[in-house]
Amino acid sequence: MTQDWYIIDDVEKLDTPALVVYPDRVKANIDLLKSMINNVDRLRPHVKTYKNKEVTLLLLAADVHKFKCATIAEAELLAVCKAPDVLLAYQPVGPKLYRFVKLMQTYSHTKFSCLVDNAVAAKEISDIAQANKLTINVYLDLNVGMNRTGIPAGFEALQLYMDCAVLPGLNPVGLHAYDGHIHDVDLETRTERCNAGFEPVLKLQQDLKQRGYPEPIIVAGGSPTFPIHSKRKQVECSPGTFVYWDKGYQLGMPEQPFLPAALVITRVISLPDATKVCLDVGHKSVSAENELNKRIYFLNAPELKPVGQSEEHLVVEAGKDHAYQVGDVLYGMPHHICPTVALYERTYIIENNTLNGEWLNAARDRKITI
Residue 3 confidence (pLDDT):
82
DSSP string, 164-182: HHHSTTEEEEEEEE--TT-
Residue pLDDT, tens place only, 338-361: 999 999 999 999 999 999 999 999
Rounded Cα distance between 357 and 294, Å, is 30
List, for residues 43-99, the tens digit of each pLDDT value.
999 999 999 999 999 999 999 999 999 999 999 999 999 999 999 999 999 999 999
The angle that helices 119-131 and 155-166 make with each other, rounded to 10 degrees, is 10
Q: Do residues 277 and 136 both lie within one domain?
A: no
Nearest Cα to Cα of residue 286 among 245, 314, 325, 316: 314
Q: Which of 210, 241, 272 is the last residue of a domain?
A: 241
Residues 105 and 232 in one domain: yes
Q: What is the largest CA-CA distance in the chain?
A: 74
What average pLDDT does the structure give for the chain? 97
**What's the average model confidence in pLDDT over 200-215?**
98
- Residue 160 shares a structural domain with residue 274: no
Same domain, residue pair 188 and 106:
yes
Q: Give the whole-angstrom CA distance, residue 70 versus residue 222.
A: 13
Mean pLDDT of 175-196: 97
Listed as own residue / partner, the contacts of 245-249 with beta carbons closer than 8 Å and 24 or more positions apart are 245/29, 245/337, 246/333, 246/334, 246/335, 246/336, 246/337, 246/340, 247/296, 247/297, 247/333, 247/334, 247/335, 248/290, 248/294, 248/335, 248/336, 249/223, 249/224
State pLDDT tens for residues 216-253: 999 999 999 999 999 999 999 999 999 999 999 999 99
Which candidate, 220, 240, 236, places its Cα nearest to that of 55?
Answer: 240
Same domain, 97 and 163: yes
Tell me what pLDDT residue 174 has: 98
Answer yes or no: do 207 and 78 share one domain: yes
Phi, psi of 136 (to 5 degrees): -105, 125
Please name the residues in contact with 231: beta carbons below 8 A apart, sequence gap of 6 or more: none
Task: Specify the number of domains making up the chain.
Answer: 2
| Domain stops at, among 212, 241, 270 | 241
Rounded average pLDDT over 309-329:
97
Helical segments of 64-170, H only:
72-80, 95-106, 119-131, 155-166
87 contacts 114 by C-beta, under 8 angstroms: yes
Q: Is the pLDDT of residue 36 over 80?
A: yes
Q: What is the mean pLDDT of residues 204-211?
A: 98
Cβ contacts of residue 20 below 8 Å, gap of 6+?
A: 8, 14, 262, 263, 264, 265, 347, 348, 349, 350
The one-letter code for the residue type at 160 is: L
Assess whether pLDDT exceeds 80 at residue 366.
yes
The amino acid occupying position 227 is: P
Instruction: Find the CATH number of the domain harbouring 63.
Output: 3.20.20.10
| Residue 125 resides in a domain | yes
Give how far Cα 11 sits from Cα of 91, 127, 259, 269, 325, Å: 43, 55, 21, 15, 16
Same domain, 307 and 354: yes
Rg of the Cα atoms in the chain: 22
Average pLDDT over residues 263-278: 98
Same domain? For 67 and 195 the reply is yes
User: What pLDDT score does 1 carry?
Assistant: 59
Question: Which residues constitute the domain of residue 295?
Answer: 11-18+261-364
Distance from C-alpha of 294 to C-alpha of 297, rounded to nearest angstrom: 8
Report the half-sphere exposure of 43 (CA within 13 A, side-chain side). Answer: 24
pLDDT in tens, 129-161: 999 999 999 999 999 999 999 999 999 999 999
- The predicted-structure confidence for 159-185, as pLDDT tens digits, reads as follows 999 999 999 999 999 999 999 999 999
Q: Assess if residue 3 is contained within a domain.
A: no
With beta carbons less than 8 A apart as the criterion, state whether 312 and 281 touch. Answer: no
- Residues 6 or more apart whose CB falls under 8 angstroms from that of 186 comprise none
CATH, residue 351: 2.40.37.20
